[in-house]
Structure 1
Amino acid sequence: MAIPGNLLSPTTESIDPNTSGWTSLLNATISKGGGGRNGDSCLLVKSVAAGETRVRTVSSYPVTAGTVYQVFADASGATVPERIGIRWLNAAGTEISITWSLVTMAAASAWHRISVAGAAPTGTTKAQVVLSAMTPAAAGVSSFFENVYLGLPIRTTGNLLPFGTESTEIDASGWASEVNATISRQVPVVSWSVDWYWAGGHTLAVTAAAAGNAAAVTVDRPTVTPGTEYLAYAYLQPPTLSSVAWLELRFYDSNGNQIQVTRATLAPPGTGMYRQLLSAVAPASAATCGIAAGLDGAAAGQVLRLETVVVRSLIPLVTGTVLPYASGSFEQGTGGWLVTSGPATLARSTPWGAAAYSGNYALTVTSATAATSTLRSPLAPVTEGVNWRAQIIVRHSAGSWTSATVRVRWYDAASVSLGTSTGVAYAVPPGSWYLLTSDAVAPAGATQAAVEIVAVAGSATSVLWVDGVALWQVLPLTAVEAVSADGYVQVTLRELPADYLISLYRVTSDGARTLVRGPDGLIDQQPLESDTMVLEDHEAPLGVDVSYRVELYSNPGVLAATRSSDPVLLTHSDINTAWLKDPGNPQRNVRVLVQTAPEWERPIEQAAHVVRGRRNKVILSGRRQGLEGDLAIWTRTDAERQALHLLLDSGNVLLWQAAPGMGVSDMYVSVASISEGRVTHLAQEQWRTWTLPLTEQDAPVTVGVNGAAGRTWQDVLTEFSTWADLLDVYGTWEAVWLDQRG
């Protein structure tokens, strides 16, 4: 799979099917190797003699001076370590300089990531990728490379920290020593998934200057909103298994004074890279935030490494949950849960990754005796008179558990208990994670609530893991809304199961099903990325009742559940108008005034043969083709005319939808050469008459709805200091939204 945004061709990126994208630069021969991960092949580089070897891309790629670019690759070499560089060239193709990464700290045969980023120097017009193996001692020493990227920095969507602080691929200037530490960059040997593009290469190295506690803190202080919950995380690599490595999310007031700090301590299972998460709500006077990391009780010279440091607005475990992330995920402790009765004790699971459904930790409930224990979450705000759903995800770990009951305890504004809901009791057999839910309506006067778990241990030393706790107001599982003014149906799907596949059909009154289009094409057993999905169906027919059928698959071809929506009707107020829509770019859809409907033709390929002595010719025919004809329309304003040009510019297959009862079914069409004329000779007249030659087409299958999933204004604000900076990067507001850079 090609790396998104890569300036390199797929062949140069993956070395499949050949090495044509690469050439020797210094002391090297190249050939095609096997055992690649991004495709079957890789680039095999051998030294000609002792000394550094270098290879580069054959092509040079246009870049803009002053803009930061990133390169990375996966490398393997059991004999010598590697580095990667960006070779900057001027307009004449002369090398200006090379921005080099640090050298990998050790040689390793396992695939590992090398990476660097830097701003193109003044005078740069083009760039090349350079791969280097450091000083083989003899000829014939082999190094391997693949999965190569050159392009704009790949950063975490929504991260409040800039790319340089997140990744340290440029330098370590986004960090400062806070206590007993020196700051540097290192490139340890770390294996990342071939399609994980947000990590690898340089890490921030926090080195204890002397025995004792050591810490570093971000220099950047991004702006936050009081009352908003934020999630922070980083990959931490502790120096030893027993190290006390931690991550902190800090909030500061407008004067730069620290007013709140939340810490999460890593429980490492080894000395690899482990992602530690933590969350906190920005307090009332918070203006900015920062990240700190460190070691407690470090020995002199011990190093804590950080990779992919992120702070962003929290994406909740379940959309709409009122419980804080810390109380539902247990990433930084027990989340404020209490044992209100019974012998159970609570702790965060350990080590990292031993027990978790979401994140890397779970709540560990241990009952020393066969008895009943009641566990209660912290209080969360609720609204009286509406339905709420409590959810827990549990797994039997040890001993036996007779049952687990999920219920909600209600409280008034003074935190006085108003009683509990009836709750639902579940058996908890060993072997798997089970999702347990209970619905209840908040009674009159209820302003707060807590999730309660009544767990019945059937034997001594029983252990239960709890994770993914949420409490949220229940809304319809499937909701549809007709947005007739813009010609589409909005489909909202809630409470979708994680790791399932989904198919979504549009169903007409005659029972016919048509797959609905999403960002990746027609939604046909596509992986779910969230528990909520909101889609705009711009291909829904006009004036016809339609409903939507959802099919959920636990594995490809294994149907696990279905659901259906209520009927919905798109109205069309003016029968003299019709829609012209681009299925992949619905923001370009245009409603136009119809002048004359097409006079249809249906061509057919035929060959006529005259047989001597026969009266009639012998005709050999192909299959009769689809409809062809000219659609005559008007545009009434300059805005309509410009919008129609934008729609037609791409040459994409379009959907033509006329008003119901006009004798024309919805039709996918290709538009040939168009004509645009004036209706009068008056220069100020805005009306135009158009002739659009249409040829019927099949509905496009692989075209996805164009958009930047998850992109927000915060991403724009993080990357650009002023609105004027956008003018040199994007041609239109649509390009800003889609992150399509010129």
Structure 2
Amino acid sequence: MAIPGNMLSAATESMDPTHTGWRPRLNCSLTSGTGGRNGPKTLVVKSTAAGETQAETVTGYSVTAGQTYQVFADSSSATEVERIGLEWLDATYTPVGTVLWSLPTATASASWHRVGVAGVAPAGATRVRIVLSSTASGAAVSHYWENVYLGVPIRTTGNLFSFNTESPEIDATAWTAGTNTTVGRQAPMVSWAADWYWAGAQVLALTATGSGTISATTVEAPVVTPGVEYLGYCYLAPPTTGSSAWVELRYYNGAGTQLSATRAALAPVSTGYHRQRVSAPAPAGATTCRLAAGMDSATAAQVLRVEQAVVTEAPAMRAGTVLPYADASFEQGLAGWTKVSGVATIARSTPWGTYALDGSYALTVSSATATASTLRSARFPLPAGSGGLGFRVQFGEIVTAGGWTTTRGIRWYDAANTDLGLTAAAAAAVPSPNWWLLSSDQTAPAGATQAAVELTLTATTTSSTIQLDWVALWQALPLIASLPRAASASITVTLRELDVGDLITVYRVTGDGRRTLVRGPNGLLDGSVTVTSDLMVIEDYEAPLLTPVSYRVELVDPVSGGMETRTVDQATVPHPDANEAWLKDPGAPQRNTKVLVKTAPNWQRAVEQAAYRVAGRRNAVVLSDVRGGLEGDLVVWTRNDDERDALHWLLDPGHVLLWQAAPGMGVSDMYVSVGQVTEGRVGGPATEPWREWTLPLTEVDMPTTVGVGGSAGRTWRDILTEFASWEAVRDEYATWEDVFLDRRIGG
């Protein structure tokens, strides 16, 4: 699978089908090897003699001075350490400065492991070449490479931190050491998955200068909003399984005074890398936050390694849930959960990764006797006007010892914190084995403004244990809904409570039963697209005008093959003026525009034919290809400068367009390519704003691979964290649309 945003070709990245994008640079020959993960082939760099060997890309790739670039690759050798470098070049391919090298890996490793570095292109650099290096003990020693990336740094979407804070591929200056600590970098041999691109090769190393607590804090302090819950996390690799490593989310006021700190301790299962999460709402008065990592009771020279530091808005277990992340996922402890009655004990599961539906931990409930115990969350505010509305509570549950029955319910409270009572489903046995998402629907009583989730668990045998995770409470809304929007001539389809990981197909269905695939961000939603969130909003800009359509959604579990089907009642796109038509760009609906039609095309249908006149015969022999689609000139008016600019903007990229006219105008919806355009005046004074446009149309097939434009999840915060200022953003992009689509100058 190609690495997104890679400046390298697929073959140069994966070495498949061959390694022609690479050449020897020093003391080596190149061959193809097997055993790759990003495709079957690998690059084998074989030493000619003892000493350093180097291979390089044949091509120098275009770069912009002052811009940060990242390179990484996966490497394997049982006998040699390696490093990777960026050689900056000018327009004549003359090196600019020295090669920017990564740290050499700590030791050799036959397992595939990540090697990488990042840096700023220096002044005068217009191109860059990748260099692979290792030092052989003799001739004919092989070193293996694959999965190579070159491009702008790959960052976690939504991360409030910049790239150098997230991953120390440039240097360690984005972190500051606490007492008893030095901060540096190391290059251990970490076997990240071939398609895991967010962790680099160089990691932050916190070293104890003596016995006691060690810590480091991010230098960056991104802006936060009071009341919003944020999630922080990073990978921690402790020196021993008994180490007391932790991550902490800290909030500060405008004067830089720390207001709060929430810590999540790691319960390591090994000395490998563990992603530890911590979350907390920003308190009143908070303006910024920082992430800290550390270790208690360290001994001198012990090292805590840190990678991929992220702070982002905390995700919801379900769209609209009122439970904060800490109370829903148990990543840092019990949060607001308490045992109301019974003999059961409750605790966060241990160690890391033993039980979890989300994150790395769950809530462990153990009962020594076959009796009932009741657990209750803290109270949480409900949306305004919740009285009388339906709510759904959901738990993830897995029985790990004995057996259990459960009663899932909601306890309601008014604004004065008065208990309005519990509504709950009937007790039922928890199925086993494996995790189960079990839910209950309840109606909020009049006056309810708060709610707590309540669960009564009855052990059916002694020494029973159950794990709970992924808790949510939200207003129960239709699983599928459609809403027509006149201003954009589109229909919004909303899908709720989806199962992440399912494959989704979405059809638009007309009254005659004809089905047409609906377009998503990466192309048609044809069953190859994976659901990534429980809430999906689809904007269908290609729905026909004034024609009732319904939608059919098919969701397939890729493991079991089971399919769920959803349908929704018909919706109709309004279109009040039959003299107007829509011209739409399927891949960039922000360009769509409405025009006033002067003259519909007089269609022609071209055909490739050859006539052969046979001697002695009256009629020619004609060989003909199939007749082509419709061709003709559409003449439209724009009535003011805004409409004229909008039509120019639509036509500028030369994309395939969708022409939609009102039913009854003698033309069906049609995908067209627009030829050379004529924009003429309609007479009158020079200030007359009307223009007459002649648009030569050629009918084409519907584009199937074009996705609805935009970068999913990309925010202005993501953009600004990549640049020193908005002026730097303007220097990197030609237009604000290029910013939106992340199309950089020279990229």
TM-score (normalised: structure 2) = 0.96
After superposition, give the CA deviation of every residue in 1:498-521 in whole Å (9 maximum; x if it has no partner).
221111111111221111100111
Aligned to 1:105: 106
CA distance in 1, matches of 2:574, 2:260: 53
Aligned to 2:488: 486
Stretch deviating more after TM superposition (552-561 or 353-362): 552-561
Contact 1:389/1:474 (CA < 8 Å) preserved in 2? Answer: yes
CA distance in 2, matches of 1:663, 1:339: 70
Aligned to 1:577: 580
After superposition, give the CA deviation of every residue in 1:578-599 in whole Å (9 maximum; x if it has no partner).
1111111111112112111111
After superposition, give the CA deviation of every residue in 1:309-330 in whole Å (9 maximum; x if it has no partner).
0011112111111111111101
Aligned to 1:501: 503
CA shift at 1:222, angstroms?
1.2
After superposition, give the CA deviation of every residue in 1:24-70 in whole Å (9 maximum; x if it has no partner).
22222212222212122111112222221111111112212121111
Contact 1:112/1:192 (CA < 8 Å) preserved in 2? Answer: yes
CA shift at 1:427, angstroms?
2.4
Aligned to 1:366: 366
AA of the residue aligned to 1:259: L
CA distance in 1, matches of 2:730, 2:643: 25
Aligned to 2:118: 117
Stretch deviating more after TM superposition (228-237 or 316-325): 316-325
Is 1:149 equivalent to 2:152 in the alignment?
no
Contact 1:73/1:113 (CA < 8 Å) preserved in 2? Answer: yes
Aligned to 1:67: 67
Contact 1:407/1:424 (CA < 8 Å) preserved in 2? Answer: no
CA distance in 2, matches of 1:616, 1:21: 58
- Unmatched 5+ residue regions in structure 2? none
Q: Secondary structure at the match of 2:51?
A: coil
Aligned to 2:391: 388
Aligned to 1:729: 732
1:143-542 matched pairs, under 5 angstroms: 143-382=143-382, 383-401=386-404, 403-525=405-527, 526-542=529-545
After superposition, give the CA deviation of every residue in 1:608-645 in whole Å (9 maximum; x if it has no partner).
44556655444444333322222122223333333323
1:700-715 matched pairs, under 5 angstroms: 700-715=703-718
CA distance in 1, matches of 2:73, 2:586: 36
CA distance in 2, matches of 1:11, 1:498: 32
Aligned to 1:592: 595
AA of the residue aligned to 2:307: E
Q: Secondary structure at the match of 2:79?
A: coil
Contact 1:551/1:559 (CA < 8 Å) preserved in 2? Answer: no
Is 1:677 equivalent to 2:646 in the alignment?
no
CA shift at 1:246, angstroms?
0.7
CA distance in 2, matches of 1:213, 1:56: 44
Aligned to 1:7: 7
Aligned to 1:126: 127
Contact 1:399/1:460 (CA < 8 Å) preserved in 2? Answer: yes
CA distance in 2, matches of 1:449, 1:367: 26
Q: Secondary structure at the match of 2:556?
A: strand
After superposition, give the CA deviation of every residue in 1:478-502 in whole Å (9 maximum; x if it has no partner).
1222111211111111111122111
CA shift at 1:532, angstroms?
0.4
Cα–Cα, structure 1 residues 106 and 630, in superposed 2: closer, same or farther, change >3 Å? same
CA shift at 1:530, angstroms?
0.2
Stretch deviating more after TM superposition (294-303 or 423-432): 423-432
Is 1:718 equivalent to 2:747 in the alignment?
no
- Unmatched 5+ residue regions in structure 1? none
AA of the residue aligned to 2:116: S
Q: Secondary structure at the match of 1:318?
A: coil
Stretch deviating more after TM superposition (69-78 or 682-691): 682-691
CA distance in 2, matches of 1:70, 1:476: 45
Is 1:563 equivalent to 2:566 in the alignment?
yes
Cα–Cα, structure 1 residues 248 and 664, in superposed 2: closer, same or farther, change >3 Å? same
Is 1:698 equivalent to 2:687 in the alignment?
no
CA distance in 2, matches of 1:213, 1:200: 27
CA distance in 2, matches of 1:368, 1:562: 43
Aligned to 2:606: 603
CA distance in 1, matches of 2:448, 2:580: 52
Q: Secondary structure at the match of 2:739?
A: helix
Stretch deviating more after TM superposition (590-599 or 677-686): 677-686
CA distance in 2, matches of 1:285, 1:503: 46
CA distance in 1, matches of 2:60, 2:154: 20
Aligned to 1:95: 95
CA distance in 1, matches of 2:719, 2:278: 25
CA distance in 1, matches of 2:501, 2:151: 31
Contact 1:409/1:421 (CA < 8 Å) preserved in 2? Answer: yes
Aligned to 1:83: 83
CA distance in 2, matches of 1:555, 1:25: 45
Q: Secondary structure at the match of 2:487?
A: helix
AA of the residue aligned to 1:465: Q
Q: Percent identity between the aligned chains?
A: 58
Contact 1:407/1:422 (CA < 8 Å) preserved in 2? Answer: yes
Contact 2:720/2:729 (CA < 8 Å) preserved in 1? Answer: no
Stretch deviating more after TM superposition (192-201 or 411-420): 411-420
Aligned to 2:47: 47
AA of the residue aligned to 1:729: E
Q: Secondary structure at the match of 1:179?
A: coil
Stretch deviating more after TM superposition (100-109 or 650-659): 650-659
After superposition, give the CA deviation of every residue in 1:629-666 in whole Å (9 maximum; x if it has no partner).
22122223333333323322333221110122111111
CA distance in 1, matches of 2:689, 2:71: 50
Contact 2:407/2:424 (CA < 8 Å) preserved in 1? Answer: no
CA distance in 2, matches of 1:467, 1:451: 13
Aligned to 1:632: 635
CA shift at 1:336, angstroms?
2.2
CA distance in 2, matches of 1:320, 1:219: 33
What RMSD in Å do the two structures reach over aligned CA positions?
Answer: 1.7
Contact 1:77/1:109 (CA < 8 Å) preserved in 2? Answer: yes
CA distance in 1, matches of 2:470, 2:426: 17
Aligned to 2:140: 140
Q: Secondary structure at the match of 1:727?
A: helix
CA shift at 1:474, angstroms?
2.0
After superposition, give the CA deviation of every residue in 1:131-164 in whole Å (9 maximum; x if it has no partner).
111x222122211111111111111111111111
AA of the residue aligned to 1:516: V
CA shift at 1:465, angstroms?
0.8
CA distance in 1, matches of 2:24, 2:549: 61
CA shift at 1:735, angstroms?
1.3
CA distance in 2, matches of 1:24, 1:457: 68
Q: Secondary structure at the match of 1:647?
A: helix
